[in-house]
């Protein structure tokens, strides 16, 4: 997006803040996941699921298509935990792998946007 | 409703709030107030008395269905249309109908068409 009007500049700033906030979202999920790997807590389960779920919808609205599938996968993994199920070790492993894929997707998305700019 | 709608947007995602607010302000010149959770949003609706409240469903502490129920239970806000902005997967049609919401805009929304979609929903009477 190349801004040429004040409105476009504001929108570009919102998109930039979304991109800059992605690492924080990844960190939030990683910390929650590490907590769940040690011991189940409702707080960690909720934080993990809500962060993934929120990113899924928000990424799509920001046309960050690369992020939608990995965020959807993470939300799908986290939903049973949010509903009270204690995660199994292999589920934590799967979530860590999906989180890694999301991180790679963030890099691809960022590179695409910077390439377009 | 007048052309320049007043909107209260209730969504816990700060990036989405900013995107929706700017989109509606730029594409339709609407006046948009935002709130980050249900309690704050209900207060905003009472204060602003918007033409429409746009509400996320999955939020911490109080979900969108409960926000809608409380708005509909309050005589001061009962007549204000509530539209959910939500992911299709979390949508429970029965709950949407039961709480009295006017309709649903599914994420991802098309920014250029959001105002048009909200206008269409608010121009229609809720299904009986």
pLDDT number for residue A117:
67
Strand partners, B10: B35, B55
**Stretch among A63-72, B52-61, B87-96 having the lowest mean pLDDT:** B87-96
Q: What is the SS3 assignment for A29?
A: helix
Cβ contact (<8 Å) for A58 and B13?
A: yes
Q: Is the pLDDT of residue B2 over 60?
A: no
How many CB atoms are located within 10 Å of the residue A34 CB? 12
Query: What is the complex's ipTM, to 2 decimals?
Result: 0.87
- Which residue of chain B comes nearest to A5, CA vs CA? B26
Contacts of B16 in chain A (CB under 8 A): 54, 57-58, 61
pLDDT above 60: residue B1 = no
Residue among B13, B17, B112 with most chain A CBs within 10 A, to mutate: B13
pLDDT at B128: 40
**By CA distance, what is B57's nearest residue in A?**
A54
What average pLDDT does this structure show over B37-53? 97
Total length of chain B? 128
Is a pLDDT exceeding 80 seen at residue B127? no
Residue B126 confidence (pLDDT) = 41
Q: If residue B55 lies in a helix (H) or strand (E), which one and from where to where?
A: strand B52-55
Task: Decide if B12 and A14 are in contact by the 8 Å CB cutoff.
Answer: no
Termini Cα distance of chain B: 22
Q: Which one has a higher pLDDT value, A86 or B126? A: A86
Secondary structure (DSSP) of B73-93:
HSTTTTTS-EEEEEEGGG--H
Of B58, B60, B107, which is closest to A60 when you measure between CB atoms?
Answer: B107
B127 vs A114, B97, B100, B123, CA distance in Å? 46, 8, 9, 12
Q: Count other C-beta atoms under 10 Å from residue B90's C-beta.
A: 18
For each of chain A's 117 residues, which pLDDT tens digit applies? 566 888 889 999 999 999 999 999 999 999 999 999 999 999 999 999 999 999 998 998 898 999 999 999 999 999 999 999 999 999 999 999 999 999 999 999 999 988 886
A49: closest chain B residue by CA: B58
């Amino acid at each position: 997006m190349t801004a040429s009007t004040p409105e476009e500049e504001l929108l570009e700033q919102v998109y930039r803040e979304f991109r800059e906030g992605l690492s924080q979202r990844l960190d939030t999920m990683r910390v929650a996941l590490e907590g769940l790997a040690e011991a189940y807590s409702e707080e960690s389960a909720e934080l993990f699921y809500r962060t993934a779920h929120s990113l899924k919808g928000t990424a799509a609205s920001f046309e960050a298509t690369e992020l939608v599938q990995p965020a959807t996968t993470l939300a799908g993994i986290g939903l049973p935990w949010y509903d009270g199920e204690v995660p199994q070790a292999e589920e934590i492993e799967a979530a860590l792998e999906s989180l890694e894929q999301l991180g790679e997707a963030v890099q691809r998305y960022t590179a695409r946007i910077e390439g377009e700019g | 409703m007048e052309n320049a709608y007043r909107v209260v947007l209730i969504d816990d995602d700060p990036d989405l709030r900013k995107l929706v607010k700017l989109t509606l302000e730029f594409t339709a010149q609407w006046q948009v107030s935002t709130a980050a959770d249900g309690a704050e949003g209900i207060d905003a609706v009472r204060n602003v008395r918007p033409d429409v409240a746009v509400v996320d469903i999955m939020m911490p502490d109080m979900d969108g269905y409960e926000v809608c129920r409380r708005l509909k239970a309050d005589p001061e806000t009962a007549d204000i249309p509530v539209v959910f902005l939500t992911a299709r997967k979390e949508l429970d049609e029965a709950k949407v109908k039961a709480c009295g919401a006017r309709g649903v805009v599914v994420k991802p929304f098309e920014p250029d068409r959001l105002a048009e979609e909200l206008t269409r929903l608010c121009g229609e009477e809720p299904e009986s």
